[in-house]
Structure 1
Amino acid sequence: MTIRQSIRRVLLSAVTAVTVVPLAVAAGAAPAGAATNQFRGMNWAVLGDNFSTGPLVLHGLSQSDSNATVRAKANALYDDMAAIGVNTVRLPINTHTVGTAWWENYRGAIDAATARGFRVILAYWEDGAASGGRITNLAAWNTMWSRVTYLYGANTNVYFEPMNEPHGYSSAEWRTVAANWMSYHYSAVPARTLIGGTGYSQDLRDICTDSRFNGTLLSFHHYAFFYSAMTYDQFRGHIQTRLGSCASRAVVTEFGAPMSTGLNYADAGSTDNFVRHIRAVTQVMRDNRMGGTYWPALGGKPTGSSGFDYYSMFSLTGSGTNLNLAVRNASGRDRIRYGWGL
């Protein structure tokens, strides 16, 4: 999510509605084809967002934490996530984290998750929003991914997403970049690779029909602030259209809405655009037996002077390794669980 998008998501929620043109891969090397609802997840992000030219320090962690401390903190948070049905966490990586001293400690968050049987999606975030949705240093990017796939290529609980929201590339450019990545990083088996849709990962149709990605999973993003306001039915049609014919191997790796403002996501008759959107996304997920990783569990871009992203599902309390998460919106939690098929 970019700075511009964070501003747009507040402004566009009130825009007048417009007319819109209208699966499981088991961990390991099973074919990507039937459904993806084994991914019941959330994003754990940096407070301030993951676009950074420095090391990625997730919300709740400190760069002074040892590997053991990171693992202990992560396990405390994963316990609370698991209590609502989470079994997957999507974590960011970048070229300023992997291969550094901090990386050896950051890996505690990955290893704590896989040790308990969680799936982990490792996704590359570009070097700051100012880089325009493009990889700024291809050599460093490939070096980063070589390290990551060497370490985790044989771990069937770890999945690889070459790039988050590759919006700086045309469709043809991005598909070439992604295909080259797959050829180069052969340790990342296709069935555990998620190729992002075009734009802000918001359209899967070109990826879906490109035979170079037949064996992969697909990463899909959908937010209300991407678009003008819609009815519930318009949102459902729009989401299904953007999935193309590949819903069976798509994971909604980002979707979210305010969780701290008291919205009622159980209200089927709501006229609130965010409520209609979340209800539509989760219905499409459930209808297609699709998995999803909500944005975010914690972290993200603070809203106003609040000190937290108002999309975040949890509030964080505690100190040291004694960390606790509390759900901000029970109806939002329940609707996300509904989308997961629970």
Structure 2
Amino acid sequence: MRLRVLSAAVALACATLGVATGPAQTAAAHTAEALDAGHFHGVNWAAPGDNYADGPIALSGLSLTDDYATTYAKASAVIKGFRRNLGANTVRLPINPYTTGGTYWSSYRAVIDAATARGFDVVLGYWEGTSAQKDGKIDSLPAFWDMWTTVTDAYRHNSRVFFEPMNEPFGYTAAQWTDLAAQWLATFPSVPRDRVFVSGTGYNDSVLAVCADSRLAGTYLSLHHYGFWKQDTGYAAWVADLKSRIGGCASRTVADEFGAPMTSGLNYDERASDSTDSNSVAFLQADTDTFRALHIGSVYWPGLRTGDTYTMEALTGSGTHPQLVTTNVTGADRLAWAWGKGHAAMEG
């Protein structure tokens, strides 16, 4: 995969991508050697109607009526597509109590099993429900703990499976969320800390508070970052915005959600000023340059989600042998660039 990075963008990246420092740096420093955040080169596989659900989650291309064997075959094809088309080694998957507490759990496990069998790391994250329950808080604590008991019992001995206690805990204050994350670690002491992703505060939009909490030492930190959060923001401003959310915690940080429009024909290799959507192009160039420079792991949102304009891959075919087609080659180029692959070439 050939990457085309503008000489102006490369020069600006070299000038601005210094490692940030801050009060959380001390808490993060002693875990730096043990953790390898930059190892995670991944994508999210999401449900067509998003992962917030008041029932079992059926990922794009799968069905709640599929048995284990059918799900395994379909998932194997999708995982192969992620590797073949993008060079990914990680997939992030949603879970909820409806998925793990009913009959579908045996089928859903086929997705995890198919991915790990093919050498993928799997990040399992809890998503809350929809409607009135979508408030950034755990819907039911008893169901939450039962869910995680089921999941950790099944996969704590599989070194390729990682656990993210909650996606986007925006309903909690920083103190409440760090307390809850610490409680999760204390509840499941047999899970190695280096297989836990602790979400940043808010919409996973800052890892500073979780990085500074010594109770969470040894864990990875999950960060989300999106271009739609701000408009008319240039490359340098996006670099500064991202770095302000990481502080001195790059060695532990994995951006397990970030994304931009892929199906609208944008060229992410051109100058942002030449694009019809300069903000999205500047954002994606800034994020991928920063991830590469700071050796931050990154998991694109979404690698596959039917009906999502951000999706990096689209489904073709049917039955147990679906195929994936990349929706935007330049977007895939930028993703590979974030993962330390490819090379820069000058354009006139």
The TM-score bracket by the shorter chain reads: 0.7 to 0.9
Q: CA deviation at 1:31?
A: 6.8
Partner of 1:114: 116
State the match for 1:168 in structure 2. Answer: 171
Cα separation, 2, equivalents of 1:339 and 1:97: 32
Partner amino acid for 1:61? L
| Deviation, structure 1 residue 34 | 5.2
In structure 2, distance between residues paired with 1:82 and 1:284: 23
Aligned to 2:290: 284
Rg (Cα) greater in structure? 2
Aligned residue in 1 for 2:340 = 341
Contact 2:201 / 2:207 at 8 angstroms: preserved in 1? yes
Partner of 1:246: 249
What corresponds to 2:44 in structure 1? 43
Segment of structure 1 superposing worse, 118-127 or 181-190? 181-190
- TM-score with structure 1 length normalisation? 0.87
Q: Per the alignment, do residues 138 and 129 of structure 1 end up closer, same or farther by CA in structure 2, a change over 3 Å counting?
A: same
Offset of residue 122 of structure 1: 0.2
Matching residue's letter, 1:112 = A
Equivalent position to 2:90, from 88, 91, 100: 88
Q: CA deviation at 1:129?
A: 5.3
Cα distance, 1:59 vs structure 2: 0.5
How far residue 258 of structure 1 moved from its aligned partner, in angstroms, is: 0.5
C-alpha separation in 2, matches of 1:170 and 1:130? 19
3-state DSSP class of the match of 2:97? coil
Structure 1: gaps of 5 or more residues: 1-21, 23-29, 301-307
C-alpha displacement at 1:187, in angstroms?
2.8
Question: Residues 62-141 of structure 1: matches in 2 within 5 Å?
Answer: 62-83=63-84, 84-128=86-130, 130-131=132-133, 132-141=135-144
* One-letter amino acid of the counterpart of residue 75, structure 2: A
Pick aligned residue for 1:227 from 216, 227, 230: 230
Q: 2:35·2:220 contact (CA, 8 Å) conserved in 1? A: no
Opposite residue 253 of structure 2, the aligned amino acid is: A
Per-residue Cα deviation, 1:126-164 (whole angstroms, up to 9, x for no partner)? 112532110010010000001101110011000000000
2:184 matched to 1:178? no
User: Counterpart of 2:53 in 1: which secondary structure?
Assistant: coil
2:346 corresponding residue in structure 1: none
User: Which residues of structure 2 form unaligned runs of 5+?
Assistant: 1-20, 22-30, 342-348
Q: Percent identity?
A: 45
Q: Which residue of 1 aligns with 2:217?
A: 214
Conserved 8 A contact 2:35-2:194:
no
TM-fit CA distance, 1:189: 1.4
Provide the rounded CA distance (Å) in 2 between the counterparts of 1:334 and 1:295. 15
Equivalent positions of 1:261-340 (< 5 A) are 261-270=264-273, 272-299=278-305, 308-340=307-339
Pairwise CA distance, 1:79: 1.1
C-alpha distance in 2, partners of 1:173/1:120?
27
How many residue pairs are counted as aligned between the two chains?
307
Query: Displacement of 1:32 after TM fit?
Result: 6.5
- Report how far residue 277 of structure 1 moved: 0.6
Q: CA deviation at 1:268?
A: 3.6
2:205 aligned to which of 177, 192, 202: 202
The one-letter code sitting in structure 2 at the alignment partner of 1:166 is P
Pair 316,42 (structure 1): closer, same or farther in 2 beyond 3 Å:
same
> Is the Cα contact below 8 Å between 2:32 and 2:251 reproduced in 1?
no
How many angstroms does 1:267 deviate by?
Answer: 1.4
Q: Which runs of 4+ in 1 moved over 3 A?
A: 30-35, 268-271
The answer (yes or no) to whether the contact 1:134–1:167 under 8 Å persists in 2 is yes
Aligned to 1:255, what secondary structure does the other structure show? strand
Letter in 1 for 2:71: V
Work out whether residues 32 and 217 of structure 1, in 8 Å CA contact, stay in contact via their aligned partners in 2. no
Partners of 1:317 and 1:325 within 8 A in 2: yes
Structure 1 counterpart of 2:210, one-letter code: I
TM norm structure 2: 0.86
Question: Quick one: which amino acid aligns to residue 127 of structure 1?
Answer: G
Whether the 8 Å contact between 2:35 and 2:218 is mirrored in structure 1 is: no
In structure 2, what is the equivalent of residue 9 of structure 1? none
Aligned to 2:345: none
**Residue number in structure 2 paired with 1:4:** none
Instruction: Provide the alpha-carbon RMSD of the alignment.
Output: 1.5
Cα distance per residue 1:162-209 (max 9 Å; x no partner): 000000001101111111011001232110000000000001111111
Q: Could you tell me how far apart the structure 2 residues matched to 1:240 and 1:274 are? A: 18
